[in-house]
A and B are shown apart, each in its own frame.
Chain A
Amino acid sequence: MVDWQLVKEYFPDIAAKFPITLKMVIISISLGLLLGFIQAIIRINKVPVLNQLALVQISYIRCTPVITQLYVIYFGVPIILSNFGFDVGGINKEFYAILAYTLNQAVFLGENIRSSLQAVPKGQFDAGRSVGMTEAQTLLSIVTPQALYISLPMLGTFLVALFQGTALAYLVGVTDMMGKVKLLGAKTGHTLEGYIVCAIIFAVISIILEQVFRVLNNKLDFANKKAKTDDNTVLRAAGGNA
């Protein structure tokens, strides 16, 4: 049924496309974190208009499948760009995939960051202000590090999910691992072997990522317990998420 010889033959070809997947994941999660942070600030401070826009965006991203978001961006963005006189033909297909994943991640990460920021006791903020730090300084150097600490376990889950989600990027013409399988399949007529190679790569990398984050969480949790912080809220939030 499965030609394992072919699996071996395909492996180097498909694995060579792994950096493209990696690139999409890293760019999307970094930009997503940035946008998510902005979204969280908007939501916490209830900035008029922007807050409502964020709510609509959150609802849209949450309720629609990634595959439709991907296609809407792939077909919609060129029309918008060409209206402004951009040359759409020269844009790499990866751009659309990264844009779609970034917007998707921004919402989920943003909601996560928001709840983490709110989990940091309010006293921490007041403490920063009381020693004469500005609001921005307090937020960035006192509240955010603690919030990141709380949201780390979820970050791992999101990263793995995003990594698996990028398996859809080939649908908009990105030649990543799945796209390569399609090309190989068109040439040789065997796609199953290619898919199995992809499955192996996705499984192995996902498991490695999961383990890395598990070790990281245990380490941080251990440090937290050892330090015996008086702040029970932080402790509970960190432990509860792990």
Chain B
Amino acid sequence: MFSIKFFLLCLKAAITHIPQNLIMTGLVLVICVILGTGIALIRAYRVPVVCYIFDFLMAICKVLPANLVLLIVFVIFNDNFKRVAKALNLSITIRDVNKMYVAVAALVICCISGISELIRSGIMSVPKGQYEAGYSVGMTKSQTFFGIIVPQAVRNIIPPLTSTILSLLKTTALVSVIGIEDIMTAAVGEASITYAFLEAYVAAALVFWVLGLVFEVISGLVERRYKKMA
């Protein structure tokens, strides 16, 4: 039966690991936004050759299940770390590397296509007339881009981006499949002593639920604020 005592133990372990998931979410978000902006610009302005490569890569990233990407990246990392470290004359072993960064790299692969697509549609939604308006008053290309296009694009991008954060947070729960410390592994680790697995997963679900609600409220506020501005 459901034991409240074990549930509270697992809940405590899960709560102490919240920062781990938040850090991963934050890192993935920042890296995805930076790389995604570059890719979005290349694809929005159809830079010859390169844009087709990214079209292809984004299509591939979009269709792979996230946990599969995590597993593949992790296996490749484990198999090749020693060889690469030797080739680079590094004296570190695989134990010195925080596996969280491997997970972050894998999660970036999973999430980048969505975020890049979001940024791209934000840029594309600025009407063409805005560029012409900029040129017509004698602004240069870069002046028009940074002074006129970017501010409007950012306003289009921010609201959907905040709602993406929740799905990023949920994706970080998958790192437990490769055994990285997070909310779920912490809760389950507590349960492996007592075999109270249901309690552990309910505790993890509860923590995610509360976190998710907080993110939903924040993204709701951001959305309302930007709607008012528009």
What residues of chain A have their CB less than 8 Å away from a CB belonging to chain B? 1, 59-60, 62-69, 71-72, 75-76, 79, 160, 164-165, 167-168, 171, 178, 191-192, 195-196, 198-199, 202-203, 206-207, 210
Q: Which residues of B contact A199 (CB under 8 A)?
A: 64, 68-69, 72
Distance (whole angstroms) from the CB of B190 to the closest CB of chain A: 14
Q: Which residues of B contact A59 (CB under 8 A)?
A: 209, 212-213
Q: Which residues of B contact A68 (CB under 8 A)?
A: 173, 184, 201, 204-205, 208
Distance (whole angstroms) from the CB of A134 to the closest CB of chain B: 38
- Interface contact B201-A195, CB-CB below 8 Å: no
- Interface contact A63-B209, CB-CB below 8 Å: yes
Q: Which residues of A contact B208 (CB under 8 A)?
A: 63-65, 68
Query: CB within 8 Å of A: which of B52-75?
Result: 59-60, 62-69, 71-72, 75
Assembled-state Cα–Cα distance A63/B174 (Å):
14
**Can you list 30 A-B pairs, Cβ within 8 angstroms, ordered by A?**
A1-B79, A62-B212, A62-B216, A63-B211, A63-B212, A63-B216, A64-B208, A65-B208, A66-B170, A67-B174, A68-B173, A68-B201, A68-B208, A69-B205, A71-B201, A72-B201, A72-B205, A76-B202, A79-B1, A79-B198, A164-B65, A168-B65, A195-B68, A195-B72, A196-B72, A199-B64, A199-B68, A203-B63, A207-B59, A207-B63
Distance (whole angstroms) from the CB of A62 to the closest CB of chain B: 7
Distance (whole angstroms) from the CB of A52 to the closest CB of chain B: 16
- Interface contact B173-A63, CB-CB below 8 Å: no
Q: Which residues of B contact A167 (CB under 8 A)?
A: 65, 67-68
Q: Which residues of B contact A67 (CB under 8 A)?
A: 67, 173-174, 176-177, 184
Q: Which residues of B contact A198 (CB under 8 A)?
A: 68
- Interface contact A65-B171, CB-CB below 8 Å: yes
Q: Which residues of A contact B68 (CB under 8 A)?
A: 167, 178, 195, 198-199, 202
Residue of B nearest to A78 (CB): B198
Distance (whole angstroms) from the CB of A201 to the closest CB of chain B: 10
Assembled-state Cα–Cα distance A76/B206 (Å):
14
- Interface contact B59-A202, CB-CB below 8 Å: no
By secondary structure, the B interface counts as: helix
Assembled-state Cα–Cα distance A1/B64 (Å):
21
Residue of B nearest to A196 (CB): B72
Q: Which residues of A contact B211 (CB under 8 A)?
A: 63
The 5 closest A-B pairs by CB, nearest first: A63-B212, A65-B173, A167-B65, A206-B63, A75-B198
Assembled-state Cα–Cα distance A114/B202 (Å):
29
B interface, how many residues as a size bin? 35 or more
Q: Let me know if B166 is at the binding interface, CB within 8 A.
A: yes
Assembled-state Cα–Cα distance A142/B220 (Å):
34
Assembled-state Cα–Cα distance A1/B79 (Å):
8
Instruction: Determine which of B174, B215, B216 lies in contact with A65 in the assembled complex, contact meaning CB atoms within 8 Å.
Output: B174
Q: Let me know if B2 is at the binding interface, CB within 8 A.
A: yes
Assembled-state Cα–Cα distance A152/B166 (Å):
25
Determine which residue in B2, B67, B173, B215 has the highest number of CB atoms from chain A within 10 A of its CB, and name it: B67
Assembled-state Cα–Cα distance A30/B217 (Å):
32
Q: Let me know if B6 is at the binding interface, CB within 8 A.
A: no
Assembled-state Cα–Cα distance A67/B67 (Å):
10
Assembled-state Cα–Cα distance A201/B216 (Å):
34
Assembled-state Cα–Cα distance A171/B173 (Å):
13
Residue of B nearest to A198 (CB): B68
Q: Which residues of A contact B2 (CB under 8 A)?
A: 79
Query: Given A1-B79, A192-B76, A75 and B212 touching (CB < 8 A)?
Result: no
- Interface contact A75-B197, CB-CB below 8 Å: yes
Q: Which residues of A contact B79 (CB under 8 A)?
A: 1, 192
Q: Which residues of B contact A63 (CB under 8 A)?
A: 166, 170, 208-209, 211-213, 215-216
Assembled-state Cα–Cα distance A63/B219 (Å):
13
B172-203 vs A, Cβ < 8 Å mask (1 yes, 0 no): 01101100000010000000000001100110
Distance (whole angstroms) from the CB of A192 to the closest CB of chain B: 5
Assembled-state Cα–Cα distance A164/B171 (Å):
13
- Interface contact A76-B198, CB-CB below 8 Å: yes
Residue of B nearest to A209 (CB): B63
Query: CB within 8 Å of A: which of B96-117?
Result: none
- Interface contact A64-B76, CB-CB below 8 Å: no
